[in-house]
Amino acid sequence: MKAGASGAGMKPSGKSVPTVATGMEPSIGAKALRLRDGTTSPEHVEIAAEVPVALVYNSISHVVMMATPGDLADFALGFSLSDRIIEQPGELQALEIIGDARGYQVSMRIPPARSFALRGRRRNQAGLTGCGLCGVETLDQVHLALPPIVAGPPVDVAAIHRALAALPALQPLNRATGAIHAAAWSNLAGDIVIVREDVGRHNALDKLIGAMTRLKIDPADGFAVITSRCSFEMAQKAVAARIRVLVAISAPTTLALAVAERSGLTLVALARTDSVTVYANPERLSGTGSGAAQ
């Protein structure tokens, strides 16, 4: 039985490889008690699934991340690119997803040179749901070599507001559970093209990056929206994926701002449907009135 995740069991070339599904769903039903105005009532609730996902390269386990069991092929590809394990999507030569009651294993094949470099990073540790630097052992491994942000058409602030207004309706798992992050890709008109959900904010962004890569979406043709704070790792992943404009619901950190300023990433945060705050490189935006950060 093939996994139901989008892109699961697919090579970058589009040829299928064997895949086994575990039967795990993104959420499960449970019973709870609602306490309100001094009364108690039984209630059916949906609980977000959180399962271990082992990422294995050339038969060597690299890291185990806690994630939502969906879009795992996108997750693996996006993680491989944003973590600079591979430089080009074609270097992910094969991918297989196998699961059982314990969780999922995503086995990938990459060129020997990439595998050799990966062994030197020694990242064989479990990753928490909110972890973005799990297993990194030295300060030198924190700051990845990042590509420069390329020029492209401006992004209108009105398009950002439009995407923000549309996003909640495109988060079915979060509506059901209230415990899920999302990362979305919008075109320049503000129309959301892709949404990926996960219990981990880094995982959601990696899934989005993987989906964009698989669908051959040009990062210059829009912007990304994340339903979380913009931490250093989120900014770094966005730049690694050549995303020019990153819009975050919550505020950025100091190191995220430093990454944005150094790389040329336009960083928009505290984003609401009626206002946004631009922290870095506002010149890439149009419709700002003054052209300066608001």
**Choosing from 86, 131, 183, 260, which is the catalytic residue?**
131
Which sign, positive or negative, has the C-alpha torsion 241, 246, 251, 257?
A: positive
Integer CA distances (angstroms), 86 to 108, 113, 224, 257, in order: 11, 10, 22, 25
- Supply the CATH classification number for the domain 27-133: 3.10.20.10
Residue pair 288/245 in contact (Cβ under 8 Å)? The answer is no
Tell me the residue type at 288: T
Residue 131 annotated to the active site = yes
pTM over 0.85: no
Q: Where are the domains of the chain?
A: 27-133, 155-286
Which pLDDT tens digits describe the chain residue by residue (294 residues)?
233 333 433 444 333 333 333 456 888 888 887 777 778 788 888 888 888 899 999 999 888 888 999 999 999 999 999 999 999 999 999 999 998 888 899 999 999 999 999 887 755 455 555 555 454 444 344 455 677 788 889 999 999 999 999 999 999 999 999 999 999 999 999 999 999 999 999 999 999 999 999 999 999 999 999 999 898 889 999 999 999 999 999 999 888 898 898 889 999 999 998 889 999 999 999 987 644 443
Asked, colleague to colleague, whether 27-133 and 155-286 share their fold, the answer is: no
Burial category of 22 from C-beta neighbours within 10 Å (exposed 0-12, middle 13-18, buried 19 and up): middle
First to last CA, the chain: 52
Name the class of domain 155-286: alpha beta
